[in-house]
Structure 1
């Protein structure tokens, strides 16, 4: 990374930190781009050079990771079973330092209270899933349904691990909690996977 790129990263980080601090102090809806610029010690025009609006500022750490799961899957050995590669991909995504976890918790706390960014978050998750589905398809040799299910389940496991970290008093690390989910899903009998229901007859009875 060159000097210009390092400077740009520093400015982006300052703008984001200003946004999150103001949201924590006054609430996300009360924070303005002008306040963000003042706290970050940059011009308002500089904020808009990097971000279209304040929703984009708050979601920046997540938007910049879109495609990361797909990239990590592609980095796994091509001869490795795709399910095993997905397991390693999940662990790599969740194996965060205490500082990284603390930053993510701060962000998620604000997203819980900010309907606008939270709605846009679904678009980012959808993009992540589609990119992962494409990466799975490149490796699996399976049909579209299998690839889609693999991508959905992978994101579900990551999401459950993050939810557990935020909501539970259990201090299990997200990556280790994901391992527990994976082990449970592979347990066979007793795994909480919906079973196929028999078709109903014309009266709606099984």
Structure 2
């Protein structure tokens, strides 16, 4: 271990030169500082989700989240821009995992099919607590999305901000330039809308699913089949050509 620290302390120095003792002493200190910051951040997230589940999103204040960790509100704002941001960081983790899963799908798989399989696999991991995801946090977000217009609105806005990244990923799979081809933009916009529609329809008679991952799968399967549905009048003999 000492050898590794010694090697890392000399990175960036010319051959034959070594970092000063003062610089070497700072290296383990910096590591401890980062670990402490990570622990504080995770404690704030735990505190926030616990209070959201107990009191609801609107009734929970930043001060309460910070007090539960024995830090100041000022410390909270070093890590998060708002209490909504705590929820959105979890969604960022989901999005990052989904991007990796999407990129790993077979190269010849159609876009919507690849998105459905990648997204559903990650959401089921969130629901089941696989791959390091916390199912209680995921369940809390789902409940808040259903009960809090503020949370639903923030999530919708957050998804729209990721439109450019989703468009880029879709364009890469299609092998087209999104500057001159509108289709990746359409796919990204529609799929983003489907995610939020799944939340709205979950538990309704419109979808048969009980889990969000199953609701999303059902909606994306419908999208795969094509949504240029025939009009009711098309079935009428009077309307035939």
- TM-score by length of structure 2 reads 0.61
Which whole-Å CA distance do the structure 2 matches of 1:127 and 1:88 have between them?
A: 23
> Cα 1:31–1:151, aligned 2, differ >3 Å: closer, same or farther?
same
Q: Which residue of 1 aligns with 2:40?
A: 11
Contact 2:98 2:118 in 1 (8 A): yes
Mapped pair 1:90 → 2:110 = no
Query: Is 1:138 matched with 2:168?
Result: no
Which of the numbers 187, 204, 218 marks the counterpart of 1:180? 218
Matches within 5 A, 1:26-175: 26-96=55-125, 97-99=127-129, 100-142=134-176, 144-165=181-202, 172-175=210-213
Shift of 1:170: 5.4
How big is the shift at 1:65?
3.8
Give the number of equivalent residue pairs. Answer: 192
Query: C-alpha root-mean-square deviation of aligned residues, in Å?
Result: 3.5
Q: Kindly tell me: are residues 136 and 3 of structure 1, through their superposed partners in 2, closer, same or farther at Cα, counting changes over 3 Å?
A: farther
CA distance in 1, matches of 2:211, 2:72: 40
Q: Assess, with a 3 A threshold, how the Cα gap between structure 1 residues 178 and 29 changes in structure 2: closer, same or farther.
A: closer
Q: Is the 8 A contact 2:209 2:215 kept in 1?
A: no
Larger Rg: 2
Unaligned 5+ runs, structure 1: 197-206
Normalised TM-score (structure 1): 0.69
Q: Are residues 101 and 171 of structure 1, via their aligned partners in 2, closer, same or farther at CA, if it must alter by over 3 Å?
A: farther
C-alpha contact 2:145 2:199 (8 A) present in aligned 1: no
Distance 1:9 1:158, change over 3 A: farther
CA distance in 1, matches of 2:48, 2:169: 34
Residue aligned with 2:162, SS: helix
Q: Distance in 1 between matches of 2:91 and 2:204?
A: 20
Distance 1:159 1:29 in 2: 20
- Residues 106 and 176 of structure 1: is their aligned pair in 2 closer, same or farther, counting only changes over 3 Å? closer
SS at match of 1:31: coil
Q: Relative contact order (alpha carbons < 8 A, sep ≥ 6): 1 or 2 greater?
A: 1
C-alpha deviations, 1:149-174, integer Å up to 9, x for none?
Answer: 22233334444444455667955544
